[in-house]
Amino acid sequence: MVKRLLVIAAIASALQPPRIARRCNQLHAASTPAYIAGACLTGIMWKPVVTQAMDEWYDTADTTLRRPRWAPPRKWFPSIWRVNYFLIGLAAARRARCGGLPLIALVHYALNMCWAPLFFRFRRLRAAVVLNAALVATLVAALPAFAEAGAALLLAPYLCWLAFATALSLQIARLNPGGVPA
């Protein structure tokens, strides 16, 4: 039975049209460590704002903020974002070697940099939900360009996190229709 499945898989693979491999030029892009460092450094740019908000209103016992029971604990966020920004930088480096970064990816990254201050500093919960949806949409729109460079799978954990964060943000906005007092 296993042999038959392997033969069928081999035949199906042989019948597929040939893939045109894109040549990637490493001379026209910054080094991979530079992309990873850039993504990580811009990712931590808002850490002081997020930490202050966590201490003041998001994750305190006396907060009026209502969160769903399934909201992850505070200690998960730094690890999740470290991994995500590392993978974003690695994916960007691979894509940059294959014709540069598409405009939609740059727009996505700019939107990403706006989310933390919008939610944590300005406490605009509903606007943060809209921005979350825009982040998911722009990342999905950018994925084909990353797939050309063999880097789309590197962004899969980030896309999963964004989808989860969008659901979490939406639920927080629903549970706090009056917003969060400053």
Its domain, for residue 79, covers: 30-175
d(CA 5, CA 31): 42
Taking 50 as the pLDDT cut, the residues of the chain under it are: 14, 17-21
User: Which tokens go with 99?
Assistant: 């014709």
Whole-structure pTM value: 0.82
User: Which tokens go with 1?
Assistant: 């039975």
CATH number for the domain spanning 98: value is 1.20.1260
Total domain count for the chain? Answer: 1
In a domain, 182, yes or no: no
Confidence at residue 64, expressed as pLDDT on a 0 to 100 scale: 84
Rg (CA), the chain: 20
Burial class (CB in 10 A: 0-12, 13-18, 19+), 14: exposed
Confidence at residue 29, expressed as pLDDT on a 0 to 100 scale: 57
